[in-house]
Chains A and B, each alone.
Chain A
Amino acid sequence: MNRPDKQPVKSRLADEGYEPWENNRRIPLPVIWVAVALAVWGTATLLRDSGSYAVAQNERQSGETVAAEAPEGGEALFLARCSTCHQPNGAGVRLAVPPLHGSDFAKAGPEVVAQIMLRGIDGPIRVSGFAYDGRMPSFAAALNDGDIAQIASFVANRFGGTGAALEAGQVATLRAAQANKGSWQGGAELAALVPDLPTQPPMPAEAKPATDPAISALVFAGKSDAWSCASCHGDLGQGTENTPRLAGLAQGYIARQLRDFRQGERHNESMNSVAKALNDHEIHGLAAYYARQRVASAAQPALGGDLARGEQIALQGDWSIGVPACFSCHGPSGFGVAPDFPALAAQQPAYIASQLAAWAGGHRNNSPLGLMDRISEALPEADRRAVADYLASLPAVPAPEQRAEAKIDGGKDEL
């Protein structure tokens, strides 16, 4: 249809009077091919999306089924909730977690076990001849009456050898009786519940040394050239997202990180600026303050990591990629080993993942002997998320009392 140009020749451009119109050509075949191909692709994509929707639906339903079936066994609940610290065989961890196997408390029957679970323990306790710095979280909020009844019955039967079983209704009665009483004050208070206990260590006369008001002001109000700790780390030092939990970290560890921030050995714009405003006395005070904080876990898995894989790395490591178990250095259950190995349990997952990434990328390099640099490099990104999520699923580590800390590092925070 390319007709010869009929316009006047002085300019080949259109005459002012010409108005556009359309030829009547057929649609070129390639356009139709492209259109058909896209239509097929689009339909297939929507159908595949329908498939993923069905998969998600099935997963959700099967997840609900599993959740509904799981509480049937007290053993399953024990393995999920208790065995991380007390170990699957109830042997506990030497010098850190009291054993259940053969303990007087397990032998005392499921009602005693249930009451300990409802309130937790916060004070020295003697079990099977060894004294422990007893710190057990309360499970009153985390578990319902049925779960507690099943766990308590399982523990009393398996480890205490008693035949009694507890019903959910009885737990409800106990829960009402023990409500709002706070943690059991060590073996001394439990002795009233369990007859014929061996002598229990006394509660330390003075509970906690009063916090220095200057330190308290730093935590909650900050000072002219440093904003308050609580503004990012939370009122209780529980942390959030990429801001770490401080509550219960070892005093020596906190002090060392603050000094590293101050000297620029560890990098974070906010913390570098805050730490520069702190003197040695304030660093010491803040470290002591947070080391003594006792706060329930505020963390939960949030990074979509594979918890089973995370558990494997934490407990056994993965020697095929040269990664040791986290707990081999950071202590049983990720309690931490003062002063160099911080507690990991209940730490914020985003923080753990970002620190692992920072070590791998060379942005954090203040770990003793460069241990974490090499380990983090070896961990693939999915494993970093897996282990961070697993650690977040653990119960919060009980903070050591100041006297325990004193025993460990000689009453000073110098390393």
Chain B
Amino acid sequence: MLITMGLLLALSFVVSLLALTFLIWAIATRQFALDRAQAKTVFGKEAAEPDTDGTHLFDTTGIDRVSARPVRLLILGAIFWLLLASAFGVIASLKLHWPDWLNQAAPLTFGRMRALHLNLVTYGWLSQIGIACMYWILPRIFRTQLRSPQLAVIGFWLWNIGVTLGAVTFAWGWTDGEEWLEFAWQFDMLLVLAGVFFVVPLVRTARAREVDHIYVTGWYFLAAMVWFPCLFFIANFPGIHYGVEEATVNWWFAHNVLGLWLTPLGVGTAYYFIPKIIGKPIYSYSLSLIGFWGLALFYSQVGIHHLIGGPLPTWVVTLSIVHSMMMFIPVIAVAINQHVTVARNTWALRESLPLRFIAFGAVMYTLASFQGSIEALRSVNTITHFTHYTVGHAHLGAYAFVSIVMFGAAYHIMPRMVGREFAYPGLIRLHFWLVVLGFAIYFFALTIGGVLQGLAMLDATRSFAESVMVTKPYLEARSVGGTMMALGHVVFAANIIGILRAPRRALQPQSSVPAE
């Protein structure tokens, strides 16, 4: 048989699958000498039997007090960008069916509005709220105080200065011209520098941890901390990639922002808060391993499925499609671990509002990933490529999954950070239903409209204009849904700022949190 790229790929694919299986088996059955000692810490004296005698109970007051300052800043910064990005998103959505509205100046045009929405959501809102969760959760699972919190504060300011400069200069037309990488690379390097300030305290905390075993959330967070700066630096560094290679790197990066940065943030956060709130352990350690290592192995090749039909070597695209489908494995593993814990304790959804957000988001992770894998198949992609269907899918992942998990996380963290309860739990319910219903309208409108649009574009006997006109009612529905989501964000901001502003009729503090 001819030695071809495809044959070599198939062989290396099999080898890497075997290696992955061996790795997971080795860790799960504690084949590493090092791990036997860890196992004692995790599972008590008898390694096979989980321990419930109090190893997992400890006082976090001193730990939270140190984390509070960077976490508070990051949550506030994130909410600021969320509100701004939502406004841009709604404007961009309205422009799709009111094309002549707000077109008096270049910064107001659709191309700028849409890219601002995307970048501010990604780097302003999701990244910062995710980093806030890292700062809140990691010291707790390491059972030790955050080290060098002042560096995190410097990182916060650098990060926000970078995002602000990037957004303002982009609005006036200074751009690298690639999707997800619109901000000029000079400002992106500022974000990389800020990332260093964020990572150093977390690494120092990890090195000083009081436990040997690292809970699954810690794997995701520590890995994301390494993955994202590498991705971001390589993709933004100017003058390395040209032509088709540039497009390849562009989409390799763009999809990895979701898969190797936002997904670990969201999955890690859900992995922590679901058992934390319910008070029951995660279903299976082995499944955690499959979920994590599967993501690590398969995800990095997924992005090229955005270039199906593009002028790339077929084997690059096929490899990406295969890896997209392989993502079913880690996603199923994570789904069993998280959903079984929730499904056996549905009472907790009634008692905990944050859990409602987080459990909903976790289910959306499963659905978004399944949908994404299917969408990568050539037969499906032929219809959905270049349509609003893809936009619906992107929001299922970045919004219904990551953002909604983060809403829940913020609602869980805030009372414990400031030592007060939310004054109006009704507003939290309002927020939940606004974003969930708004998102449902948004998603189903774009999904149906996108399929109709794709079918119209494929039919050569129909004019291109027809494929545009057919989407109009769905785009209007999308604006309705998007506006509801944006209103939900205003309620969210009011809730968070309300609890921070210490209303006089607040309940007695439950723990002593020093005023800052």
On chain A, the residues within 8 Å of B272 by CB distance are 20
Partner of B276, one of A20, A53, A54: A20
A35 within 8 A of B: yes
Please state if A14 and B277 are interface contacts (CB–CB under 8 Å): yes
For B511, give the chain A residue with the smallest CB separation.
A16
Query: Is A53 within 8 A of B279, CB to CB?
Result: no
Which of chain B's residues has its CB closest to A381's CB? B460
Contacts of A25 in B (CB 8 A): 283-287
Most buried by B among A34, A35, A50: A50
- Taking the complex as formed, is A28 at the interface, i.e. its CB lies under 8 A from any CB of chain B? yes
Contact with A along B277-315 (1 / 0, CB 8 A): 111011111111010000000000000000000000011
Tell me whether B315 and A47 are in contact (CB under 8 A). no
B42 → A minimal CB distance (Å): 7
Among A8-45, those with CB < 8 Å from B are 11-28, 31, 34-35, 38-39, 41-43, 45
Pair B329/A46 contact, Cβ less than 8 Å: no
In Å, the complex CA distance between A147 and B336 comes to 70
Q: Is the CB of B351 within 8 A of A47?
A: no
Nearest A-chain residue to B10, judged by Cβ = A46
In the complex, what's the smallest C-beta–C-beta distance from B322 to chain A, in angstroms? 4
With A19-B141, A20-B271 as known contacts, state yes or no: A54 contacts B279, CB within 8 Å. no
Contact between B281 and A31, CB atoms less than 8 A apart:
no
- Say which one of B56-64, B241-249, B497-505 lies at the interface with A: B56-64
Residues of B within 8 A of A11 (CB): 351
Report the Cα distance A48→B17, complex, angstroms. Answer: 18
A21 and B215 contacting across the interface, CB-CB below 8 Å: yes
CB A292 to nearest CB in B, in angstroms, measures 32
Binds A, one of B1-9, B151-159, B176-184: B1-9
B52 adjacent to chain A (CB < 8 Å):
yes
A256 within 8 A of B: no
Contact: A34 with B279, CB < 8 Å?
A: no
Please measure, in the bound complex, the distance between the C-alpha atom of A27 and the C-alpha atom of B329, giving whole angstroms: 12
Indicate which residue in B52, B278, B323, B332 contacts A13 across the interface (CB closer than 8 Å).
B278
Contact B281 A20 (CB under 8 A): yes
For A1, list chain B residues within 8 Å (CB).
50
Closest to B355 in A: A13
Q: Counting CB contacts under 8 A, is A97 at the interface? A: no
Whole-angstrom CA separation of A362 from B461 in the bound complex: 8
Q: Which of B75-108 contact A (CB under 8 A)?
A: none
The answer, yes or no, to whether B36 is at the interface (CB within 8 Å) is no
- Among A1, A18, A34, which residue has the most Cβ atoms of chain B within 10 A? A18
> Quick one: given A17-B60, A43-B14, A357-B461, are A24 and B284 in contact (CB under 8 Å)?
yes
Instruction: Answer yes or no: A3 CB below 8 A from chain B CBs.
Output: yes
State whether the Cβ of A412 lies closer than 8 Å to any Cβ in chain B. no
Contacting residues, chain A, for B57 (C-beta < 8 A) = 15, 17-19
A49–B6 CB distance below 8 A: yes
With A49-B314, A49-B315, A381-B460 already in contact, the answer to whether A54 and B281 are too (CB < 8 A) is no
Min CB gap B464→A, angstroms = 10
Query: Complex Cα distance A372/B384, Å?
Result: 32
Minimum CB–CB distance for B57 against chain A, Å: 4
Contact across chains for B282 and A50 when beta carbons are under 8 A apart: no
What residue in chain B is nearest A354 (Cβ atoms)? B460
Chain A residue nearest in CB terms to B289: A27
How many residues on B have C-beta within 8 angstroms of the other chain's C-beta atoms? 72
Which of A13, A357, A361 contacts B351, CB < 8 Å? Answer: A13
On chain A, the residues within 8 Å of B43 by CB distance are 24
- Say whether A57 faces chain B, with CB atoms less than 8 Å apart: yes
Chain A residues with CB under 8 A of B315: 46, 49-50, 53
Q: Is B326 an interface residue (CB 8 A)?
A: yes
Q: Which A-chain residue is minimally distant from B330 (CB atoms)?
A: A35
**B279 touching A18, Cβ below 8 Å:** yes
Q: How many angstroms between the C-alpha atoms of A12 and B351 in the bound complex?
A: 8
- Which of B60, B274, B282, B287 is close to A21, meaning CB atoms less than 8 Å apart? B282
A51 to B286, CA, bound (A): 37
- Most A Cβ at <10 Å: residue of B10, B14, B323: B10
A21 and B50 form a contact (CB under 8 A) = yes
- B50 x A17 contact (CB < 8 A): no
Question: In the complex, what residues of B have CB within 8 A of residue A47's CB?
Answer: 6-7, 10
Pair B314/A53 contact, Cβ less than 8 Å: yes
Query: A91 CB to closest chain B CB, in angstroms?
Result: 38
A224 sits at the interface (CB 8 A): no
Measured CA separation A375–B196 after assembly (Å): 67
- Is B73 in contact with chain A by the CB < 8 A criterion? no
User: A49 to B468, alpha carbons, bound, how many Å?
Assistant: 35
- A42→B140 contact, CB < 8 A: no
A353 interface residue (CB < 8 Å to B): yes
Q: Indicate which residue in B13, B215, B344, B461 contacts A43 across the interface (CB closer than 8 Å).
A: B13
Which residues of chain B have C-beta atoms less than 8 A from A50's C-beta? 2, 4-7, 9-10, 315
B residues 140-178 touching A (CB-CB < 8 Å): 140-141, 143
What is the minimal beta-carbon distance from A96 to any residue of chain B, in angstroms? 33
For the complex, is B463 an interface residue (Cβ under 8 Å from A)?
yes
* In the complex, chain A residues whose CB is within 8 Å of the CB of B348: 12-13
Complex Cα distance, B10 from A54, in Å, reads 14
* A52 interface residue (CB < 8 Å to B): yes
Interface centre among A34, A53, A54, A362 (most CB of B within 10 A): A53
Cα-based distance from A25 to B285 in the complex (angstroms): 7
Given contacts A13-B277, A15-B57, A21-B56, contact A34 B463 (CB under 8 A): no
Contacting pair A19 B460 (CB below 8 A): no
Q: Is A6 an interface residue (CB 8 A)?
A: yes
The smallest beta-carbon distance between A375 and chain B, in angstroms, is: 14
Chain B hits for A320, CB < 8 A: none
Of B58, B288, B460, chain A has the most CB atoms within 10 Å of the CB of: B460
Contacts of A39 in B (CB 8 A): 14, 17, 326
Considering the complex, which residues of chain A in the window 138-196 have a beta carbon less than 8 Å from any beta carbon of chain B?
none
Interface assignment of B462: CB less than 8 Å from any CB of chain A? yes
Out of A24, A46, A53, A353, name the residue touching B50 (CB < 8 Å): A24
The answer to whether A60 has its CB under 8 Å from any CB of chain B is: no
* B-side contacts of A223, CB under 8 Å: none
B281 contacts A23, C-beta separation under 8 Å: yes
Q: Is the CB of B285 within 8 A of A23?
A: yes
Residues on the B chain within 8 Å of A362, using CB: 461
B325 touches A38 (CB 8 A): yes
Cβ < 8 Å to B, chain A residues 340-363: 353-354, 357-358, 360-363
Q: Is B347's beta carbon under 8 Å from chain A?
A: yes
Pair A357/B281 contact, Cβ less than 8 Å: no
Residues in B with CB closer than 8 Å to A51 are 6
How far is B462's CA from A5's CA once the two chains are assembled, in angstroms?
63
Chain A residues near B278 (CB-CB < 8 A)? 13-14
Most buried by A among B55, B56, B352: B56
Contact B319 A46 (CB under 8 A): yes
A353, B460: Cα distance in complex, Å: 9
Tell me, rounded to whole Å, the shortest Cβ–Cβ distance linking A23 to chain B. Answer: 5
Interface flag for A367 (CB, 8 Å): no
Chain A contacts for B277, CB-based, 8 A: 13-14
On whether the beta carbons of B460 and A21 are closer than 8 Å, the reply is no
Q: Does A358 lie within 8 Å of B2, measured CB to CB?
A: no
Taking A2-B344, A361-B459 as given, write out 20 further A-B residue pairs in contact, using a Cβ cutoff of 8 Å, ordered by the A residue number: A12-B348, A18-B57, A19-B57, A19-B140, A19-B141, A21-B215, A21-B281, A25-B285, A27-B333, A41-B325, A43-B10, A43-B13, A43-B14, A45-B318, A45-B322, A46-B6, A46-B315, A53-B4, A53-B315, A358-B463
A residues lining the B interface (CB < 8 Å): 1-3, 5-7, 11-28, 31, 34-35, 38-39, 41-43, 45-54, 57, 269, 353-354, 357-358, 360-363, 381, 384
A-B contacts, 11 listed (Cβ < 8 Å): A14-B276, A17-B59, A19-B215, A21-B275, A22-B216, A24-B43, A26-B284, A28-B284, A43-B10, A50-B6, A353-B460
* Chain B interface (Cβ < 8 Å from any Cβ of A): 2, 4-7, 9-10, 13-14, 17, 28, 42-43, 48-50, 52, 55-60, 140-141, 143, 215-217, 271-272, 274-279, 281-288, 290, 314-315, 318-319, 321-323, 325-326, 328-329, 332-333, 336, 344, 347-348, 351-352, 416, 459-463, 465
Query: What 3 A-B pairs come out closest when comparing CB atoms?
Result: A50-B6, A361-B461, A14-B279
